[in-house]
Amino acid sequence: MKSKKIFGIVLAGGEGKRLMPLTEDRAKPAVPFGGQYRLVDFALSNLINSGLTQIVVLTQYKSHSLDRHVSQTWRVSGLLNSYIASVPAQQRLGKRWFSGSADAILQSLNLIRDEQPDVVVVVGADHVYRMDFSQMIEAHIASGAAATVAAIRQPIELADQFGVIDLDLDDPIRIKAFLEKPKNAVGLADAPHEVLASMGNYVFDADALMDAVVRDGERADSSHDMGGDIIPAFVESGQAGVYDLRRNDVPGSTDRDRYYWRDVGTIDSFFEAHQDLISALPIFNLYNEEWPIFTQQLNSPPAKFVRDARGALGTMIDSIISLGSVISGAHIERSVLGPWANVGSGAHVVDSIVFDRVRIESDAFVGRAVLDKHVVVEAGARVGLDRERDLARGFSVTDSGITVVGKGVRVTA
């Protein structure tokens, strides 16, 4: 039997308002993560590791940083028609932006028509996880469904934070209903304390997807959203199936991180996802060589820990330190430092995320904070210790007490 032709679409056009100020100057999928990565790297790595060779990244808001990262990092040989291409809103249907994720695909149907695939994989660009999509594609084809939704089990008390899938008891791989953030969710038959939440990843028969987004584009009452409009339409017609992530076996995964998936749509979840990286037995393991997370390979020297002029030695506990960083007589604990960070004598960085080329000078303190690129924390300055002072200086502070300092800001003592 002739093998199916697969086409990948990464939806990377969202504004990411809840991650402000990290998204003030960049698209959400371009936000740095885990030291040297960008959020979009996780989606693209999963697709490439799954064997997809034709992938487009649909971009829109503040896309320069994202477009540059995709073009510099994700260069795939043009031989045999393999590529990863960043595609902005093309205004093929009028002078307008994408009005939703389904509209993004509608305005980009020329990409699908040009390649004429049998199956289209559609994924979000801002989740942290590993997944072998080839296994989901096989399950989709075997099921006979026109659309398949990837789902992950979540505690029932979190149901009101997700799109929840209600299964057909007579056919447990078919979706009976798609419930958007239900208040009174019913647990699964085999796990009453859990629900199946949509991961925002889908597999479609290509013709069915194209037909669905065209019909949706004609509806004045639609929000033109994949999860809010397209999937419910497939459910209503009885053509939607579900793929439980528990069926997915990623090479090199461990019992601790096999079914890890994190939506990093808020500063709190972004911070918590970083904490998942840094323990001795990480909840999400960046060191899986059988299913690597690819990113731009910086031409940078190794990280270095040195004694300062007073003879004090830099120390690091449960942290990630990226290439090019220099820690001079400072203490780093439960933190992630991006490339070319510089931390001076006597400084403390605790429970924090530091982006590229941040300089933290001598005797400064940074705690429960996120510092964007090129931030300078002057000698003796404090970030994250005094909520009211941080707010008065114009920094963002979450309800849980995480301080965020925007790109290029200089923090005075």
Residue positions in the annotated binding site? Answer: 163, 180-181, 198
Q: Is 122 exposed, middle or buried (0-12, 13-18, 19+ CB in 10 A)?
A: buried
Distance (Å, whole) CA 335 – CA 317: 8
Other CB atoms within a 10 A radius of the CB of residue 220 amount to: 4
SS3 58: strand
Please state at what angle helix 40-49 crosses helix 64-73, rounded to 10 degrees.
30
54: closest CA among 124, 128, 112, 96?
A: 112
258: closest CA among 270, 269, 247, 274?
A: 247
85: closest CA among 101, 108, 106?
A: 108
> Token pair of 74, please?
């994700």
Distance (Å, whole) CA 237 – CA 221: 19
> Token pair of 223, please?
């929000």
**Eight-class DSSP state of 289:** T
> Token pair of 397, please?
């502070």
Cβ-contact 83, 55 below 8 angstroms: yes
Measure Cα distances from 251 to 74, 231, 272, 273 in Å: 22, 29, 25, 22
Cβ-contact 149, 208 below 8 angstroms: no
Residues flagged as binding site for alpha-D-glucose 1-phosphate: 163, 180-181, 198
Half-sphere exposure of 42 (CA within 13 A, CB side): 26
